[in-house]
């Protein structure tokens, strides 16, 4: 038989006493004998949900189903998933359902189990947030970010404390508690702002980087002020001696973390081979140390939530250790445990708490609102004084006041520990729901980073004169891209009269850290960076620059960012460097036998984004098939029969084909290049969609090429797509490079019947045809899209 055990206690908070009696069964029923065994019982005195294991599983299912139903309705309004999780908890709380009729069987025992699972997720979330943060960036933040980060904490804090002091004149209580609460009202949370920027997909934008830098500064200041406020509280309640002991123990804990644990983890990283994975034993040792950190913080008299966070800060960010922790733990924590914690925070909410609200609670809420308003004002004023546009300043101000899971978790834990009363918790829950709902909607309305890509200036190869420097960006994902890009650049035969300003952007996936990086590699410095990003890429392109001295100038950049936001780095660089052409590698590479060597769908998605948003012309380079050693079948500057480099342009008409012809014209200025223009014309005019203006422009471009360079002109009339395919199969083996226009969503009589077989829309119908397995492809293919004219 299970023995009953009950306990009761009374706690005081500002003159209000709460008396609770909790009854628990010992030993608890955890694992059920099974549904069949329960149904076979004669007296039916036990139910399946009387066992904590099945009950927890059922509660999790109900929570996730209800959350998704709510989110499916609210996401159309732009509300984040966090709001749906909170509302799910409120709907499942005793406020809506009594304990006897609750959907998730809300009782003290069930809440204890569910709350423990959720709290576990929250502690893990704080640890991973620390792992992702790079404290060295605080030293590299600009003056604007430092001013915003510091002032948006200090000024609201002073305003909040002044307001509470004027309203609440009981000096002892003010000294003991209000300073600590004022810090929580005025603080900045880096994880919350990072999640907001990630959800809005502006993490890589100029505003996003500024917001992250300011949030990092503000979060560190908030952490210090929170710990300091606890020491002040201890000093008032227990005396200076106890406060000094707490201070000394906290410093000892930090010394152990910084000078013992961090060097140990760095030693683990050094023993890991370059580009290799951390050993499992090292991974498990770090997890074990994290699991022990709350206990150690208790021994060192530090607030138990700060232990995992501080230990996370000590973990070397990025690969191999930081990225391994984030990649393995973050999906489980963010997808399972943290949503449960958010819902349990909602379960604590009850409107009846407002009935028992006292004067102290009203003063605290008023102080919190003053802090929020002042924080918004400071976040708005500082950027305006720095000449930032008004819309961007407003967006930044809303970003800096955002609230989320960190604040909700902090108030929930303070409510459980009787640090704040239930009425203060209820008021702050309402504030968090309102702010977390409004901020994403307003930021999205105010700030659209793609607006600056609406370039009204022509940035195309057609509009670049032959004797003018061509500004080019090439993107590198993997080492294999380097050789193929350099080969094609060598084939373009740059000269002093027709020079190239080449910007090389090495794109690296952001892993194990929260802040995106954009690094400019200075040629004057011997050390490329503290983490040797892109060292091989820098060496290869510097050698290419030396080989073409005076004709090519190279600048290498590294962008470490989330794959879905890499287009921001590319487009921003193109805008800043006045680029005319962006060269992207294709996402797939082949061996000579036609089998796939490598394929990356994230690269394909990135290419689509660039084609849609780039402020200039774009090219996608599809490499020729490679032998098993990885080398190209043909050298770019030689062929089987001659020393000429043979280029063909497949010309059907339209702006993309004209841009392709302009690129070929520039390349063929060198005498070692032979250019062939293959003009495919419809056998009859039926179904031709080119406008009269396009025909005139096509004729003008063709005449200009005839007058500028010596080339072979082939005109072929075809009836449909199959005839085009047969004709191209008969001639493509004569060329090392074939340039075609993308001609997206354009189907002429020449390509009739090929659209439905097109596998890769990003390279167009002709590009897809020439890259297919039907062609014995020893040539390199370059697909060109002219700068798109978009409207606001």
Query: What whole-number distance in Å separates Cα of residue 685 and Cα of residue 353?
Result: 78
pLDDT of 101-160, one tens digit each? 455 555 556 667 788 888 889 999 999 998 988 887 777 778 889 999 999 999 999 999
Q: Mark whether 399 and 462 lie in a shared domain.
A: no
- When pLDDT is cut at 50, 70 and 90, the band that residue 774 belongs to is confident
- When pLDDT is cut at 50, 70 and 90, the band that residue 758 belongs to is confident
* β-pairing verdict for 552-561 and 581-585: unpaired
Query: What whole-number distance in Å separates Cα of residue 152 and Cα of residue 380?
Result: 10
Q: Mark whether 732 and 751 lie in a shared domain.
A: yes
Q: Of 783, 476, 504, 457, which is closest to residue 616 (Cα–Cα)?
A: 457
Q: Mark whether 376 and 411 lie in a shared domain.
A: yes
Q: Mark whether 591 and 655 lie in a shared domain.
A: no
What pLDDT sits at residue 436? 93
Query: What is the domain count for the chain?
Result: 3
Final residue of a structural domain among 398, 429, 447: 447
Contact predicate 545/494, CB 8 Å? no
Q: Mark whether 427 and 461 lie in a shared domain.
A: no
35 in a structural domain: no
Q: Mark whether 403 and 282 lie in a shared domain.
A: yes
Q: Mark whether 457 and 443 lie in a shared domain.
A: no
Q: Alpha helix locations (H) across 203-279?
A: 206-238, 240-256, 262-270
580 in a structural domain: yes
pLDDT of 705-739, one tens digit each? 887 777 888 888 888 888 888 888 888 888 889 99
Query: What whole-number distance in Å separates Cα of residue 204 and Cα of residue 565?
Result: 6
- As beta bridge partners, residue 13 has 16
Final residue of a structural domain among 447, 471, 495: 447
429 in a structural domain: yes
Q: Mark whether 398 and 479 lie in a shared domain.
A: no
Q: What is the pTM of this model?
A: 0.83
Lowest mean pLDDT among 134-138, 309-313, 451-455, 631-635: 631-635
Residue 365 DSSP class? H
Residue 88: Cβ-neighbour burial (10 angstroms; 0-12, 13-18, 19+): buried
85 in a structural domain: no
Q: What is the SS3 assignment for 86?
A: helix
pLDDT of 586-613, one tens digit each? 988 877 777 778 888 999 999 999 998 8
41 in a structural domain: no
Query: What whole-number distance in Å separates Cα of residue 318 and Cα of residue 512?
Result: 4
Residue 379 DSSP class? H
User: How crowded is the C-beta side of 314, counted as CA atoms within 13 Å?
Assistant: 24
* β-pairing verdict for 780-785 and 737-741: parallel
C-beta neighbour count of 217 within 10 angstroms: 24
CATH number at residue 111: 1.20.1530.20
C-beta neighbour count of 11 within 10 angstroms: 12
Query: What whole-number distance in Å separates Cα of residue 784 and Cα of residue 763?
Result: 8
Contact predicate 572/590, CB 8 Å? no
Residue 565 DSSP class? G
Q: Mark whether 684 and 654 lie in a shared domain.
A: yes
45 in a structural domain: no
247 in a structural domain: yes
Q: Mark whether 441 and 476 lie in a shared domain.
A: no
CATH number at residue 562: 3.40.50.620
Contact predicate 317/513, CB 8 Å? yes
Q: Mark whether 345 and 463 lie in a shared domain.
A: no
* β-pairing verdict for 711-718 and 673-682: parallel
Q: Name the strand (E) or helix (H) holding 620.
A: strand 617-622
Q: Is the dihedral of CA 307, 308, 311, 313 positive or negative?
A: negative
Proportion of the chain above pLDDT 70, given as a percent: 84
32 in a structural domain: no
pLDDT of 256-274, one tens digit each? 988 999 999 989 888 888 7
What pLDDT sits at residue 459? 84
pLDDT of 401-449, one tens digit each? 999 999 999 999 888 888 888 888 989 999 999 999 999 999 999 988 7
Final residue of a structural domain among 398, 419, 447: 447
Q: For 290-354, give the DSSP string.
A: HHHHHHHHHHTT--TTHHHHHHHHHSPPSTTHHHHHHHHHHHHIIIIIHHHHHHHHHHT--GGGG
| Structural domain harbouring 404 | 92-447
Q: Mark whether 581 and 496 lie in a shared domain.
A: yes
pLDDT of 658-713, one tens digit each? 999 988 888 887 778 888 999 888 877 655 566 777 788 888 888 888 877 778 88
């Amino acid at each position: 038989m299970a023995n009953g055990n009950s306990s009761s206690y009374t706690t005081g908070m500002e003159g209000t006493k709460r008396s609770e009696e909790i009854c628990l069964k010992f030993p608890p029923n955890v694992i059920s004998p099974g549904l069949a065994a329960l149904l076979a019982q004669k007296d039916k005195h036990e139910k399946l949900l009387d066992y904590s294991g099945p009950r927890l599983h059922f509660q999790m299912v109900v929570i996730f189903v209800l959350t998704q139903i709510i989110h499916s309705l609210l996401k159309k309004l732009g509300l984040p998933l966090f709001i749906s999780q909170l509302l799910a908890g409120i709907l499942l709380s005793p406020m809506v359902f009594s304990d006897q009729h609750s959907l998730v069987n809300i009782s003290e025992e069930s809440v204890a189990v569910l709350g423990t699972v959720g709290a576990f997720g929250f502690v893990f979330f704080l640890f991973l947030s620390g792992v992702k943060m790079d404290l060295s960036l605080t030293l590299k933040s600009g003056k604007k970010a430092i001013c915003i980060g510091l002032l948006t904490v200090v000024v609201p804090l002073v305003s909040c404390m002044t307001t509470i002091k004027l309203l609440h004149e009981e000096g002892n209580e003010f000294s003991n508690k209000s300073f600590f609460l004022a810090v929580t009202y005025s603080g900045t949370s880096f994880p919350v702002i990072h999640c907001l920027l990630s959800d809005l997909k502006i993490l890589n934008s100029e505003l996003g980087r500024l917001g992250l830098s300011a949030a990092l500064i503000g979060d560190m200041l908030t952490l210090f002020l929170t710990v300091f406020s606890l020491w002040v509280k201890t000093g008032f309640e227990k005396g200076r001696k106890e406060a000094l002991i707490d201070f000394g123990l906290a410093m000892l804990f930090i010394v152990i973390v910084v000078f013992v644990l961090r060097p140990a983890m760095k030693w683990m990283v050094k023993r890991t081979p370059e580009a290799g994975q951390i050993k499992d034993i090292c991974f498990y040792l770090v997890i074990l140390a994290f699991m022990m950190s709350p206990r150690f913080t208790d021994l060192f008299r530090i607030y138990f939530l700060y232990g995992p966070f501080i230990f996370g800060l000590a973990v070397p960010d990025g690969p191999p250790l930081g990225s391994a922790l984030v990649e393995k733990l973050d999906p489980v924590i963010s997808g399972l445990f943290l949503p449960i914690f958010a819902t349990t925070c909602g379960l604590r909410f009850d409107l009846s708490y407002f009935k028992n609200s006292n004067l102290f609670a009203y003063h605290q809420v008023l102080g919190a609102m003053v802090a929020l308003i002042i924080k918004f004002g400071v976040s708005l004023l500082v950027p305006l004084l720095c000449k930032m546009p008004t819309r961007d300043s407003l967006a930044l101000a809303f970003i800096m006041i955002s609230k989320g899971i960190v604040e909700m978790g902090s108030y929930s834990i303070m409510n459980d520990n009787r640090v704040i009363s239930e009425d203060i918790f209820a008021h702050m829950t309402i504030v968090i729901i309102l702010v977390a709902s409004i901020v994403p909607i307003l930021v999205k309305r105010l700030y659209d980073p793609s607006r600056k890509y609406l370039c009204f200036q022509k940035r195309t190869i057609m509009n670049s004169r032959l004797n003018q420097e061509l500004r080019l960006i090439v993107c590198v994902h993997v080492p294999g891209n380097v050789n193929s890009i350099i080969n094609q650049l060598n084939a373009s035969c740059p000269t002093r009269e027709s020079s190239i300003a080449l910007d090389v952007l090495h794109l690296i996936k952001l892993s194990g850290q929260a802040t995106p990086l954009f690094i400019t590699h200075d040629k004057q410095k011997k050390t490329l960076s503290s983490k040797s990003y892109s060292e091989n890429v820098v060496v290869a392109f510097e050698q290419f620059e030396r080989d073409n001295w005076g004709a090519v100038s190279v600048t290498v950049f590294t962008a470490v960012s989330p794959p879905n936001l890499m287009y921001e780095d590319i487009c921003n660089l193109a805008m800043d460097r006045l680029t005319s052409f962006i060269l992207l590698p294709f996402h797939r590479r082949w061996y000579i036998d036609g089998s796939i060597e490598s394929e990356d769908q994230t690269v394909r998605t990135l290419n689509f984004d660039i084609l849609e948003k780039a402020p200039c012309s774009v090219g996608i380079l599809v490499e020729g098939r490679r032998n098993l050693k990885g080398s190209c079948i043909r050298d770019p500057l030689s062929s089987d029969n001659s020393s000429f480099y043979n280029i063909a342009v497949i010309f059907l008409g339209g702006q993309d084909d004209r841009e392709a012809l302009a690129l070929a014209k520039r390349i063929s200025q060198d005498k070692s290049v032979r250019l062939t223009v293959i003009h495919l014309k419809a056998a009859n005019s039926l179904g031709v969609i080119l406008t009269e203006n396009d025909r005139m422009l096509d004729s003008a471009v063709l005449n200009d090429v005839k007058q500028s360079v010596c080339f072979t002109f082939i005109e072929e009339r075809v009836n449909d797509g199959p005839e085009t395919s047969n004709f191209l199969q008969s001639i493509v083996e004569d060329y090392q490079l074939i340039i075609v226009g993308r001609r997206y969503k354009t189907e002429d009589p020449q390509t009739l019947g090929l659209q439905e077989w097109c596998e890769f829309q990003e390279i167009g119908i002709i590009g897809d045809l020439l890259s297919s397995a039907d062609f014995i492809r020893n040539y390199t293919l370059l697909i060109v899209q002219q700068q798109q004219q978009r409207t606001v």
